[in-house]
Chains A and B, each alone.
Chain A
């Protein structure tokens, strides 16, 4: 009995304040989490809208589980790009992979048959300023627009204007360029297969 009394005497302040602070955080979180979620959706819609310009809105279509390059399973969402006139105009999904300094999150867009890429945009990255972060530049990203949605390869030299499955690396940022290509390859292949299994797209090989 004495032990319990001693314990309470020593720790009541800690227990009470832990409870109060916990409550404070819970209230704050409840108040602001809808705004945080809204911000995330807005950013995603903004990026997807930039890639699939014909789309009027994006509907979450499926939750897929894809395996990362290291064998870890990651959940990803596939969004259907819809236009009133043409119906489905394409698909967009989030691809995650390891970059040079930190993980890279990309939004990848493809056409409605998953035949070619409509481009990608960087959702989150922490690449070296002035070097690796040039993966965000539209001039580099433009070579993905229209590239066949199969396996992409990276080369150090070549014509950046030519649209094919060969991607020209950024000089001085080979690792970051490679990370983007690998991430897109890994995710696109699995997303395509799973979407075919679900019957969302035809069997186009």
Chain B
């Protein structure tokens, strides 16, 4: 009995770490590139986007995991999309009602979480095949991994484009803002360099 629970705990831990590093959705799986590039001009919108994704991922993984035995193979994608769309709409309404400024800053990228492939990938690859516990841990791990990656990217871009992080100035006043970092070109360059860095780091280990 204790063996079994120890095994489950180990599995939970591995699932959590997989999302954060080994199978990090952005750096390792290259999923969800659209929000990664679009909302990382500053840390605040990146964190908001990350929280929305965690919420949607968690809810959709729970629902999909609960109904996994009832799913008909040819209708499963339809069910996933329906589930995801519901929770994204709720998240969107929440932002509009309680943080309207942030909702405006994120623009269409919140509704676009519906087509974010991280969520449908986790529903297909994990939640539709695993128990509720594993699905929840997987959602939290993947969501946290996505959010952290977004924050790193947004942190680099915000420092270079405004000299501040979380709108708090940290670089000396003489710093010349690098406006290109706020634009799509900055997103592509930063993401490319970070991917190269992560690849270099993982190569050494193996």
Interface set of A (CB-CB < 8 Å, partner B): 10-11, 13-14, 17-18, 21, 24-25, 28-29, 32-33, 35-36, 39-40, 43, 124, 126, 128-130
Contacts and interface: CB of A to CB of B under 8 A. Distances in A.
B37 to A, nearest CB: 14
Contact of B182 (A21, A25, A129): A129
Contacts of A129: 41, 179, 182-183
B82 interface: yes
27 contacts: A10-B72, A10-B75, A13-B70, A13-B72, A13-B75, A14-B75, A14-B78, A17-B67, A17-B83, A18-B82, A21-B85, A21-B86, A25-B89, A28-B89, A32-B93, A32-B97, A33-B97, A35-B97, A35-B98, A36-B93, A36-B96, A124-B104, A128-B183, A129-B41, A129-B182, A130-B179, A130-B183
A29 B92 CA distance: 10
B115 to A, nearest CB: 17
Contacts of A36: 93, 96-97, 100
A74 to B, nearest CB: 20
A32 B89 CA distance: 12
B86 A14 contact: no
Interface string B105-132: 0010000000000000000000000000
B31 interface: no
Contact of B90 (A14, A18, A28): A28
B19 to A, nearest CB: 26
Contact of B75 (A11, A33, A128): A11
A33 B98 CA distance: 11
A128 B71 CA distance: 45
Nearest to A34: B97
Chain A contact surface mostly: helix
Chain B contact surface mostly: helix
Contacts of A32: 93-94, 96-97
Given A13-B79, A17-B83, 10 more contacts: A11-B75, A17-B79, A21-B83, A25-B86, A28-B93, A32-B97, A35-B98, A36-B100, A39-B100, A129-B182
Contacts, number: 58
A29 B107 CA distance: 19
A24 B90 contact: yes
Interface of B: 41, 67, 70-72, 75, 78-79, 82-83, 85-86, 89-90, 93-94, 96-98, 100, 104, 107, 179, 182-183
- For A28, A29, A128, the residue with the greatest tally of chain B CB atoms inside 10 Å of its CB is A28
A21 B100 contact: no
A25 B90 contact: yes
B79 A14 contact: yes
A13 B41 contact: no
A176 B89 CA distance: 32
Nearest to A43: B100
Contacts of A24: 86, 90
A124 B100 CA distance: 12
A148 to B, nearest CB: 32
A17 B84 CA distance: 12
